[in-house]
Amino acid sequence: MTKELSFEEVARSLHSNAIHLLRRVRTEDSAMGIGPAQASALSVVVFGGPLTLNELAGAEQVRPPTMSRVVEALVREGLVRRQINKEDRRSVKIFATDKGTKIIHEGRNRREKRLIKLLSQLGTDEIRCLGRAARILSRILVADHA
Amino acid sequence: MTKELSFEEVARSLHSNAIHLLRRVRTEDSAMGIGPAQASALSVVVFGGPLTLNELAGAEQVRPPTMSRVVEALVREGLVRRQINKEDRRSVKIFATDKGTKIIHEGRNRREKRLIKLLSQLGTDEIRCLGRAARILSRILVADHA
DNA sequence: TTTGCATACTTAGCATAGCTAATCATTAGC
DNA sequence: GCTAATGATTAGCTATGCTAAGTATGCAAA
């Protein structure tokens, strides 16, 4: 039971688990009524405060034209609003509306419930192990954010 | 440092880590020269042996028409071949070609290298922790596969 | 056996989301 | 004040998701 995993095996297993975990929670997202790119971008706006289109594109790792269209759709649906930046009138600040904020919090709750249900099968020791692992991963994933 | 994470925080953190981890390794995938849906489907065919279109669609959680088109593209690129099932001539078995197998193995290696490089910052204890966590996750993610 | 329904896949047509190239407006530098 | 750089958008392509409808095959019951 305490068989040692090789370095490569840990990498492979983490990779596989990440895929399966996200596949699991994503089944809840259809309830939001918006596509995955819109949901992800809106989430960044809600939790990351107002930011410019370029910043948002960077955060989502897509090109500005792609994000421009996603934001356009979110504006049409009343989930964010655009506002010209006073300091630099070329750029646009994107703000979440109350409606957008509400949708994201509800979606987040659904995803979280799904995960918690999954984790509820585990014992205290195992949860503690996952918690520690999560902390380690956060550190190295955020660290070389470049 | 050993602050206890709540149940919800573990769920949230795992979720966030999964997102960031996949975002990281996916940067390697452009080198394969095929889109993400094609890469993922081809990977299933390569590692999961020959299977029918319906099975493949189920594995990828997409509808048959979507998978039909993805397979069509893979056939055009010489990465898989279709073969009518002898037992039930309505269905189609999908086989990976040598070229498809090669592409997937190379991609897998690139992703793995990326992850290993990331993990190389960690100490033995931390790797062991991640290994154990990965094992736990695998168990509960594969368990209620329904 | 043939009639009729179910199943496996494909085709057609639509929406979302990714990209590059080109355009427009604004800012910054000389 | 020009010119270059920068932020965003528009246009147009590809890829990938869906549903509805069509085709071919299999199965079962009349």
Q: What pLDDT score does A27 carry?
A: 86
pLDDT over 70 (residue B127): yes
pLDDT over 80 (residue B135): yes
Q: Which helix (H) or strand (E) holds A69?
A: helix A64-76
Give the pair of three-digit tokens for residue B33: 């020269």
Vertex B109, ends B106 and B114: CA angle to 5°?
Answer: 130
Q: What pLDDT score does A4 carry?
A: 58
- Dump pLDDT digits (tens) for B45-88: 999 979 999 999 999 999 999 999 999 999 999 999 999 999 99
- Dump pLDDT digits (tens) for A104-130: 999 998 988 888 988 888 888 899 999
Q: What pLDDT score does A121 carry?
A: 87
Distance B57 CA to D23 C1' (A): 20
Mean pLDDT over each residue of chain A, to the nearest integer: 90
Which residues in chain B touch residue A116, judged by CB atoms under 8 angstroms apart? Answer: 7-8, 11
pLDDT over 90 (residue A23): no
Query: Å from A81 to nearest chain B CA?
Result: 26
Report the pLDDT averaged over residues B107-112: 89
- Dump pLDDT digits (tens) for B4-44: 567 888 998 898 899 889 888 888 888 899 999 999 999 99
Q: Do B134 and A61 touch (CB under 8 A)?
A: no
Q: Do A138 and B23 touch (CB under 8 A)?
A: no
Helices A124-143 and B98-119, packing angle to 10 deg: 90
Query: Å from B92 to nearest chain A CA?
Result: 26
pLDDT over 90 (residue B99): yes
Which residues in chain A touch residue B131, judged by CB atoms under 8 angstroms apart? Answer: 4-5, 9-10, 13
Q: Which domains does chain B have, with CATH numbers?
A: 7-143 (1.10.10.10)
- Dump pLDDT digits (tens) for A32-53: 999 999 999 999 999 997 999 9
Distance B80 CA to C9 C1' (A): 17
Query: Å from B10 to nearest chain A CA?
Result: 5
DSSP character string of chain B: --PPPPHHHHHHHHHHHHHHHHHHHHTTGGGGSS-HHHHHHHHHHHHS-SEEHHHHHHHHT--HHHHHHHHHHHHHTTSEEEEE-SS-TTSEEEEE-HHHHHHHHHHHHHHHHHHHHHHTTS-HHHHHHHHHHHHHHHHHHHHT--
Q: Which comes out higher in pLDDT, residue B104 or A144?
A: B104
Q: Hey, is the C-beta of B129 within 8 angstroms of any chain A C-beta? A: yes
Give the pair of three-digit tokens for residue B38: 């094609």
pLDDT over 50 (residue A146): no
Show which positions of strand C are touched by protein (CB under 7 A).
7-13, 16-22, 25-28
Report the pLDDT averaged over residues A73-98: 96
Q: Which residue of A has its CA nearest to B137?
A: A17
In angstroms, rounded to a whole number, what is the distance separating the alpha carbons of residues A38 and A30?
A: 12
Which residues in chain B touch residue A127, judged by CB atoms under 8 angstroms apart? Answer: 7, 10
| Nearest nucleotide over every DNA/RNA strand to the A51 CA, judged by C1' | D7
